[in-house]
Amino acid sequence: MKADKTIAFLGAGNMARSIIGGLVQQSYPSQSIWATARSQTTLDKIPAQWQIQTTSDNKTAVQQANIVVLAVKPKQLKDVLATLAPVIVNNKPLLVSVAAGIPTSQIASWAGDNSLAVIRSMPNTPSLVGKGATGLYANKHTTQADKDFITELFATIGNSTWVEDEELLHAVTAVSGSAPAYFFLLLESMVATAKKMGLTEQDAIKLASQTAIGAGLMAQQGEYTVTELKQQIMSPGGTTEQAIQFFEQNGFKSLVNDAMEACYQRSVEMATEYK
């Protein structure tokens, strides 16, 4: 990609570090990446070998930037933007929010100008290893060139999906933004049982995580539906059938549905909670 833009990440936490780490590993020029946090402790978590620019002064970072990634917690965003509004209104960087729930209209308003270009994203932490999945929405003030650049940027750390209706980002949050944690919970549970069955933790992680990667890749190929892929493993009278029947008879699908609905609803609530 044409890496000719300076990107400032406000809030160098878990999500920002996942994206930055992915960009650095994909050779985005590190001198064009800024990251901020209030505490040195947070800034110290950025690996020194990334050689990006860091500061505890948001204004310094924003002044350099063509793109400002808003990566603080949703409840912190209003105050961060209020302080920076004069410089944002003056420089008009492209704002890219990763904050769950907060609408683009709210972001532009907090930043002091309703006509600012704002892209709202819902990335996930596998961005760190180049396997991120990101949902994207652009407000009407965003240009096609802005969208193209952001598409290329997220393509360096995984894949991305644009949605036309901003409300769909709540669903993206339930399906991919929060979802690495669902898979980690499943792995955590599987590893605990594998240890009871006599495997070492190391061997159990190695076997189960490779299985997760392989299953994900097969689903992504799309040659078979996920139902067909599941059935291919279930030999009649065999072992898999026992596990799958147990899952399905004990409410696995409704558990997943209810967990995702709870995630979705929380995202919807956050849109109004921090007004």
Ligand X SMILES: NC(=O)C1=CN([C@@H]2O[C@H](COP(=O)(O)OP(=O)(O)OC[C@H]3O[C@@H](n4cnc5c(N)ncnc54)[C@H](OP(=O)(O)O)[C@@H]3O)[C@@H](O)[C@H]2O)C=CC1
CA angle 19-209-206, nearest 5°? 120
11 binds, among ligand A1CAB, ligand X, none (CB under 5 to 8 A by kind): ligand X
d(CA 214, CA 26): 23
Stretch that binds ligand X, among 116-124, 135-143, 157-165, 238-246 (CB under 6 A): 116-124
Cβ proximity to ligand A1CAB, 89 vs 186, nearer residue: 186
Which residue has tokens 């999500």? 15
39 binds, among ligand A1CAB, ligand X, none (CB under 5 to 8 A by kind): ligand X
Q: Is 100 in the site for ligand A1CAB (CB under 6 A)?
A: yes
Query: What is the closest distance, in whole angstroms, from the C-beta atom of residue 270 to ligand A1CAB in the complex?
Result: 8
* Range list of H helices, the chain: 14-25, 40-44, 58-64, 74-91, 104-110, 144-155, 168-172, 179-196, 201-221, 226-233, 239-249, 252-273
d(CA 207, CA 200): 11
Please give the backbone phi and psi of residue 115, each rounded to the nearest 5 degrees, phi first.
Answer: -100, 15
153-182 residues in contact with ligand A1CAB (CB under 6 A) are: 173, 177-178
Contact 140, 165 (CB under 8 A): no
Query: What is the closest distance, in whole angstroms, from the C-beta atom of residue 193 to ligand A1CAB in the complex?
Result: 26
Compute, in degrees rounded to 10, the torsion defined by CA atoms 243, 189, 178, 123: -100
Question: Do the annotations mark residue 73 as ligand-binding?
Answer: yes
Please give the backbone phi and psi of residue 161, each rounded to the nearest 5 degrees, phi first.
Answer: -135, 120
Question: Do the annotations mark residue 74 as ligand-binding?
Answer: yes
46-85 residues in contact with ligand X (CB under 6 A) are: 58, 71-74, 76, 80
Query: What is the closest distance, in whole angstroms, from the C-beta atom of residue 66 to ligand A1CAB in the complex?
Result: 25
Selected from 6, 32, 42, 160, the binder of ligand X by CB under 6 A is 42
Q: Is 124 in the site for ligand X (CB under 6 A)?
A: yes
- Taking alpha carbons only, the member of 142, 3, 7, 2 closest to residue 65 is 7
Sequence length of the chain is 275
Q: Is 104 in the site for ligand A1CAB (CB under 6 A)?
A: no
**Per-position x/- string for 146-185, each x denoting binding to ligand X as judged by CB under 6 A, each - no binding:** -------------------------------x--------
Selected from 7, 19, 23, 37, the binder of ligand X by CB under 6 A is 37
> Residue positions in the annotated binding site for NADPH?
58
Give me the residues that bind ligand X (CB under 6 A), please: 10-16, 36-39, 42, 58, 71-74, 76, 80, 98-100, 122-125, 177
